[in-house]
Chain A
Amino acid sequence: MIHARGLVQTFQTREGRKKGEVRAVDGVDLDVAEGEVVGFLGPNGAGKTTTLRMLTTLLRPTAGTATVAGFDVVKESEQVRRSIGYVSQSGATGQFARAGDEVVDHGMLYGMSAADARRRGQELFGQLDLEGLWGRQPKTMSGGQRRRLDIVMGLIHEPTLVFLDEPTTGLDPQARANLWTHIADLRKRRGATVFLTTHYLDEADALSDRIIIIDHGKIIAADTSDNLKAQVSGDLVDLEVADPDLVAEAAKRLDSIAETDSDGRDAVEIDGNHVRARVQRAGKAVPGLLADLRAADIDLESIEVLRPTLDDVFLTLTGRSLRDAESSAPADPTSKEK
């Protein structure tokens, strides 16, 4: 459904008199098969929106090629537009318009008749729990309702490929969970291929068959969530030692079952009363460890075993946590987010 090779986008920026160049997307290759739900994960400013805007013909690639739904995004942009639905990061409806009018007009711009657009729009309002909001102004809707209205706009012409840019950003947990079921429905109900961007790990995990991770404009990994997590060696075992004097002793015991990292260095980390290390198949190794500790008279306040998360994957790949990457990301001067 999507095949991209070497996509690049550079933006000219200006700070006072100084001119600069931002390489927002830096040689991206992508392959998405029909019927797949793919999560495009990366911190803010990684280049997700820019990649999406190239794939949806809104932005001409500086370099590289892409075919979407079988058409070239530059040479056959009109056919691409006809085949895809796009739910942008910043919404799609006028604040003061009426929801139903916006949906019908949008459908008509795709060549649908007014009657078809209305029928289809009302059907989608039903499916996305927007009954009774046909005549409402988007500015009077809740964030979740507005986001679902954006999705209605993106689906009005029944596209087989749907792009969703940060569909749940800024929503409360309940509205997010609700929207997730609707996104999962896109494939279940209409067999659509879905390409969604997110900077939420849980969202990528919950919704996608496959995850593509982007950082600084480059793809750094692409695989299923399970395979990605398997790249991280082992589960995290965290011991809280009761007696501070015995922390070093506990670390030695933990080290006996811990992974050594690729440089062969000791991978046990000591942090106050806590001792942490990655352990292969922790479920099997931990009972032995506990017996070992008891024999040495080392009491524990607590023990935790954590399965690897996508954040660990990101950390392994980039050396920083996705959450840190988030807060250190440069402010986006052109951001339309409210």
Chain B
Amino acid sequence: MQFLRESFIVFRRQLRMNLRNPAWVLIGLMQPILYLFLFGPLLKPMAEQLGVQNTWTFFVPGMLVQLGMFGAFFAGFGLISEWRDGVIEAERVTPASRTALLMGRLWRDLLQLLVQALVLVGLGYWVGMDAPLGGVVLGVLLTLLVGGACAAASNALALTTKSEDVMAPVINVVMMPVLLLSGILLPMTIGPDWLQRTSDFMPFRWITDGVRGSFLGDFGANGVMWGSVWAVVLFAIALWWGTATFRKENA
């Protein structure tokens, strides 16, 4: 109870500051729209090669996961400037739970992601995506878990490095393989064998497959199960890491 209250105080503060910045709101809303209308036409011809029945049902899940990961990876940058202002230290000197200090920020990131996901899915339906509602709900849920994991990890990284200059290259190094090996926009199955084997070690690939599977209504498939397992595992690990950095005496 107290934990939720403290998380909410932190969340409300974050949201208030973000909403006061029109650029943040605008860019956040434009992102899914741009994905759909700029990427979509590029991907359409690919769909025929892949033998996909409905282009949108196939590509919207990938865009969703990408949206979730990308936005969240950058969540930590805001934290560095908060740390510089002394805000983190001021919060850590209160009796509030360390996890709540992180959780409130994650809620903000998740809310942002949820709104973006709803815009993307809504637009997807509008242009002709054909996915069962239950599958979409599960897909969005998995995306939120991944996004939450990435945001928590990004926050942890931010508090560890405390410098944009150190953090930016690290994120780039991490993002590269994640992006290439996750089959976010194109499924790994069209790649050569060795690339597929490599991507087996990439948890994000399983999650992307899981979201795609659930959009197809394919709940029985291995993909959905493994995707869900990985999403939960990653979220738990990242949350633990993030809390540890907020708790850590040196932050």
Contact = CB atoms under 8 A, between A and B. Distances in A.
Contact of A91 (B9, B10, B86, B94): B86
Given A81-B93, A105-B10, 8 more contacts: A58-B93, A81-B95, A82-B95, A93-B90, A95-B85, A101-B13, A102-B13, A105-B12
Contacts of B84: 90, 336
B88 to A, nearest CB: 10
Contacts of A60: 249
Contacts of B10: 105, 109
Interface string A131-175: 000000000000000000010010000000000000000000000
Size class of the A contact interface (CB-based, 8 Å):
20 to 34
Interface in B58-98: 82, 84-87, 89-96
Contacts of A59: 249-250
B17 A336 contact: no
B192 to A, nearest CB: 40
Contacts of A86: 90, 93
Interface string A95-128: 1110001100110111100000000000000000
A57 interface: yes
Contacts of B2: 111
Sorted nearest first, the 7 A-B pairs with minimum C-beta distance are A92-B90, A91-B86, A60-B249, A109-B94, A90-B86, A109-B96, A81-B95
Contacts, number: 72
Interface string A44-70: 000000000000111110000000000
Contacts of B249: 58-60
A88 interface: yes
Nearest to B248: A60
Interface in B99-158: none
B89 A109 contact: no
A146 B67 CA distance: 38
A102 B90 CA distance: 10
B5 to A, nearest CB: 8
Nearest to A80: B95
B9 A108 contact: yes
A244 interface: no
A78 interface: yes
A105 B90 CA distance: 11
Given A78-B95, A110-B95, A105 B87 contact: no
A88 B90 contact: yes
Interface string B1-26: 01000100110110011001100000
Contact of A57 (B82, B85, B91, B93): B93
Contact of A94 (B9, B82, B96): B82
Contacts of B86: 88, 90-93, 150, 336
A56 B93 contact: yes
A81 B9 CA distance: 18
Interface residues of B, number: 25
Contacts of A150: 86
B95 A97 contact: no
Interface of A: 56-60, 78, 81-82, 84, 86, 88, 90-97, 101-102, 105-106, 108-111, 150, 153, 336
Interface of B: 2, 6, 9-10, 12-13, 16-17, 20-21, 82, 84-87, 89-96, 249-250
Main secondary structure of the interface of A (DSSP, over half): loop
B87 A92 contact: yes
Contact of A93 (B6, B16, B87): B87
B87 A58 contact: no
A58 B9 contact: no
Contacts of B12: 105
Contacts of A92: 85-87, 89-90
Nearest to B94: A109
A97 B91 contact: no
A97 B90 contact: no
A109 B9 contact: yes
Could you say which of A84, A93, A105, A110 has the most chain B C-beta atoms within 10 Å of its C-beta?
A: A105
B115 to A, nearest CB: 21
Contacts of B9: 105, 108-109
Contacts of A58: 89, 92-93, 249
21 contacts: A56-B93, A57-B93, A58-B89, A58-B249, A59-B249, A59-B250, A60-B249, A81-B95, A90-B85, A92-B85, A93-B87, A93-B90, A94-B17, A94-B87, A97-B16, A101-B16, A106-B90, A109-B10, A110-B95, A111-B2, A336-B84
A154 B6 CA distance: 18
Given A58-B93, A81-B94, A86-B93, A109 B87 contact: no
Contacts of B89: 58, 88, 90, 92
A154 to B, nearest CB: 9
Contact of B6 (A91, A96, A109): A109
Contacts of A109: 6, 9-10, 91, 94-96
Nearest to A107: B94
A106 B20 CA distance: 19
B85 A93 contact: yes
A78 B21 CA distance: 35
B13 A105 contact: yes
A105 B10 CA distance: 8
Nearest to B84: A336
Could you say which of B12, B17, B89 has the most chain A C-beta atoms within 10 Å of its C-beta?
A: B89
